[in-house]
């Protein structure tokens, strides 16, 4: 008996020793399988986005930033009354009860998101209710302090913190940084153990991006575009402002746009940056590059004479005409071909160049190819392959039969403005890692030389002639400064079929200021305006307004004139022997007179009030009747004729 007791005692000791050793092994030595089971039972891992990096303008003003917000989660297994839970949450969040019920219906799920990035006020209301099974995680909410400003370029992010469009999409990896994984502790029954129902985390921050954009100029550009859109009842409006020396983008706009803080409520078509992604036939703004190539190849000189057939030029079975009968010309110089925007003159120059030379010239100026812009969706446009029939060659010379984007057109003009160098346009100035303070800066990038400095200088002078005398760009003048540029009036191509949209035009103006030492290149266009459609009517005044603001904001001094002189475009070392191009009189500068191309609103005004309103606008008024103004011709907002005359009908 004693032996049995001793054996039993020894057996129990061995058993307890084995259990103790096993317990010590499990407690003190690592075991990956058990660790995984433990984590699964007592932890829930949630991936949270880092604090997204800020986007700034070139002076450091915030265009996009991140502020603290809260996301709501629930543990369906510990919610006692799911229906009451859903109803309570629904009343505060405004989300349908059925939607919340669907999220919390599965008890096997121990963690579900109820809503992401809820504002602080709503969060506090929910916290005060102390709802069982509801928890809070502190995250970061994307804020755009300027609402619509630069919206089509900035883009926006989704609720998961990922970039969906624009710069937010293209530079998502840099802005987003590294996501953080957060472990939520649970008790033995699987219930979340969260202090005060809230998880606070220290998250890493994404990189900071600084743009080349001048936000003050951007705001002015968008405001002017919006007004022009309304005045001319246009479908859309576009603008691009480049630094003439570097092709850095100072402003870029496409209207209609959208509210960055409420992107889900916007039309998807309004979120596209059409100044970059869309192309169209540019019209007469393309003539600049045809003439530049003719000068560069020494086929023509600025004062060479061309007979413009008095407005009727037949090529095979096709007839080339001017945009208006009044524009028909006889024997004029190459400079006047540009100033008067002669289709026939440009066609004859193109025929002399030949299709191969002309096509190569267009490619050289950046058309028909991408420049590598740091914005998504860059379009390359269309330049057809050879051979070209003579009538197509003629059409291309005045901007038909090929397409270009607004940005391409602005950048091509920048090559004329800066002395013949085509630069790569860019909008990202620098990217900074805020944790290491390492900064990568973008530098201006030269693509190639397109024309010589001498040719570029002659073209600048000739383009200044477009905005003076009888040139088509008279309304683009800015008192005190010499302006160079070109008008364009292009027919809209049908998107679903061949041919053009009846009555559909895009009126544009592309130019630079000051012409003697360009600082800004500005492109503006109105798409399908109902009241006026010529570039000289709808776009040139818009250019003048933006250009005037830009040079004055930058502190660029106007030309100083003597009383006895008129400002003249410098001829420099060119062989232009024709009459020098007239510009602005001293009185123009003193009055800061704005040239209107659309009839002003005069209804219900007296004769005296009418005269007071138009006395500085160089408009001739013809009164019929007595009393107050009952109607006018042209009506308010419609284009004035060449004589700038209005007929005003009075009624007592």
User: What's 646's domain CATH number?
Assistant: 3.30.10.20
Structural domain containing residue 605:
599-651
Residue 398 CA to residue 323 CA, distance in Å, equals 11
Residue 68 CA to residue 201 CA, distance in Å, equals 11
Residue 511 CA to residue 289 CA, distance in Å, equals 13
User: pLDDT tens, 509-527?
Assistant: 999 999 989 999 999 999 9
Lowest mean pLDDT among 16-20, 209-213, 272-276, 587-591: 587-591
Q: Which residues contact 123 (CB under 8 A, 6 or more apart)?
A: 70, 72, 136
Kindly state whether residues 263 and 153 are assigned to the same domain: no
Look at residues 571, 590, 609 and tell me which one is the last residue of a structural domain.
Answer: 590
- Across the chain, which distance is largest between two alpha carbons, in Å? 141
Kindly state whether residues 251 and 380 are assigned to the same domain: yes
Per the domain annotation, does 17 fall within a domain? no
Kindly state whether residues 608 and 573 are assigned to the same domain: no
In the predicted structure, residue 187 carries a pLDDT above the cut 60: no
Kindly state whether residues 221 and 313 are assigned to the same domain: yes
Report phi then psi at 629, rounded to 5.
Answer: -70, 125
Beta-strand runs (E) in 186-257: 198-199, 208-211, 236-243, 249-255
Determine which helix (DSSP H) or strand (DSSP E) holds 290, and give its type and residue range. helix 287-296
Provide the β-strand partners of residue 51.
205
Mean of pLDDT values over 491-516 = 88
Report phi then psi at 229, rounded to 5.
Answer: -60, -45
Kindly state whether residues 243 and 137 are assigned to the same domain: no
| Mean pLDDT rounded to a whole number for the chain | 83
How many residues does the structure list for the chain? 652
Mean of pLDDT values over 418-428 = 97
Provide the β-strand partners of residue 185.
43
- What is the per-residue pLDDT for 520? 98
Which residue carries 């095979």 as its tokens?
316
Look at residues 188, 209, 230 and tell me which one is the last residue of a structural domain.
Answer: 209
Kindly state whether residues 253 and 148 are assigned to the same domain: no
Tell me the CA end-to-end span of the chain in Å, nearest whole number: 138
Q: Beginning with the edge strand found earlier in the chain, give each strand of the sheet holding 628-633 in spatial order.
A: 620-624, 645-651, 628-633
Torsion sign over Cα 610, 614, 615, 619 = negative
In the predicted structure, residue 373 carries a pLDDT above the cut 70: yes
Kindly state whether residues 171 and 222 are assigned to the same domain: no
Kindly state whether residues 578 and 617 are assigned to the same domain: no
Residue 315 CA to residue 527 CA, distance in Å, equals 30
- What is the per-residue pLDDT for 631? 81
In the predicted structure, residue 591 carries a pLDDT above the cut 50: no
In the predicted structure, residue 566 carries a pLDDT above the cut 50: no
- 164 within 8 A of 157, measured Cβ to Cβ: yes
Q: Per the omega criterion (within 30 degrees of 0), is the bond before 514 cis?
A: yes
- 389 within 8 A of 500, measured Cβ to Cβ: no
Kindly state whether residues 538 and 623 are assigned to the same domain: no
CATH number at residue 318: 3.40.710.10
Kindly state whether residues 395 and 505 are assigned to the same domain: yes
- 427 within 8 A of 275, measured Cβ to Cβ: no
Residue 165 buriedness (CB in 10 A; 0-12 / 13-18 / 19+): buried
- Can you give the C-alpha Rg of the chain in angstroms? 34
Residue 360 CA to residue 289 CA, distance in Å, equals 11
Kindly state whether residues 553 and 638 are assigned to the same domain: no
Lowest mean pLDDT among 177-186, 189-198, 254-263: 189-198
């Amino acid at each position: 008996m004693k032996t049995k007791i001793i054996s039993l005692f020894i057996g129990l000791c061995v058993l307890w020793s084995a259990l103790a050793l096993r317990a010590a092994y499990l407690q003190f030595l690592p075991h990956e399988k058990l660790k995984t089971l433990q984590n699964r039972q007592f932890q829930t891992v949630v991936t949270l986005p880092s604090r997204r990096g800020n986007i700034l303008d070139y002076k450091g003003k915030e265009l996009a930033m991140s502020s603290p917000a809260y996301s709501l989660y629930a543990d369906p297994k510990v919610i006692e009354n799911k229906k009451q839970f859903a109803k309570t949450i629904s009343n505060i969040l405004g989300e349908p009860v059925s939607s919340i019920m669907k999220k919390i219906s599965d008890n096997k799920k121990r963690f579900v998101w109820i809503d992401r990035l809820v504002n602080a006020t709503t969060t506090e209301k929910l916290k005060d209710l102390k709802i069982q099974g509801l928890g809070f995680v502190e995250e970061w909410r994307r804020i755009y302090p300027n609402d619509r400003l630069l919206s089509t370029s900035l883009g926006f992010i989704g609720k998961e913190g990922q970039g969906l469009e624009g710069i937010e999409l293209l530079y998502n990896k840099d802005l987003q940084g590294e996501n953080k994984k957060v472990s939520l502790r649970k008790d033995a029954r699987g219930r979340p153990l969260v202090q005060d129902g809230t998880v606070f985390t220290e998250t890493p921050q994404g990189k900071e991006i600084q743009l080349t954009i001048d936000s003050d100029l951007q705001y002015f550009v968008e405001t002017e575009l919006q007004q022009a859109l309304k005045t001319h009842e246009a479908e859309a409006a576009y603008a691009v402002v480049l630094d003439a020396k570097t092709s850095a983008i100072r402003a870029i706009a496409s209207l209609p746009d959208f509210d960055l803080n409420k992107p889900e409520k916007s039309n998807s078509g309004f979120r596209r940056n059409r100044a970059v992604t869309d192309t169209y036939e540019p019209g007469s703004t393309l003539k600049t590059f045809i003439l530049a190539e003719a000068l560069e190849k020494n086929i023509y000189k600025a004062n060479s004479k061309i007979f413009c057939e008095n407005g009727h030029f037949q090529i095979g079975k096709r007839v080339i005409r001017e945009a208006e009968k009044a524009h028909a010309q006889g024997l004029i110089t190459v400079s006047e071909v540009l100033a008067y925007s002669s289709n026939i003159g440009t066609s004859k120059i193109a025929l002399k160049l030949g299709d191969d030379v002309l096509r190569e010239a267009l490619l050289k100026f950046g058309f028909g190819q991408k420049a590598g812009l740091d914005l998504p969706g860059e379009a390359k446009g269309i330049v057809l392959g050879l051979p070209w029939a003579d009538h197509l060659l003629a059409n291309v010379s005045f901007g038909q039969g090929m397409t270009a984007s607004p940005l391409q057109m602005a950048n091509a003009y920048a090559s004329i403005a800066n002395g013949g160098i085509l630069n790569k346009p860019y909008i990202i100035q620098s990217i900074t890692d805020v944790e290491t303070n390492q900064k990568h800066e973008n530098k201006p990038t030269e693509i190639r030389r397109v024309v010589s400095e001498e040719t570029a200088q002659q073209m600048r002078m000739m383009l200044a002639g477009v905005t003076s005398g009888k040139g088509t760009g008279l309304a683009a003048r800015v008192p005190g400064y010499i302006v160079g540029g070109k008008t364009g009036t292009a027919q809209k191509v049908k998107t679903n079929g061949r041919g053009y949209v009846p009555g559909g035009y895009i009126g544009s103006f592309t130019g630079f200021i000051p012409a003697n030492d360009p600082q800004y290149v500005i492109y503006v266009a109105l798409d399908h305006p109902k009241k006026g459609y010529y570039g000289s009517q709808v776009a040139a005044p818009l250019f003048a307004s933006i250009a005037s603001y830009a040079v004055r904001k930058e502190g660029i001094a106007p030309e100083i004139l003597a009383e006895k002189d008129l400002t003249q475009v410098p001829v420099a070392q060119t062989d232009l022997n024709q009459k020098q191009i007239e510009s602005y009189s001293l009185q123009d500068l003193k009055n800061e007179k704005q040239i209107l191309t659309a009839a002003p609103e005069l209804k219900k005004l007296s004769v005296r009030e009418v005269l007071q309103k138009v006395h500085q606008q160089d408009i001739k008024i013809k009164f019929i009747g007595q009393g107050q103004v009952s109607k006018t011709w042209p009506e308010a907002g419609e284009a004035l004729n060449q004589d700038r005359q209005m007929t005003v009908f009075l009624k007592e």
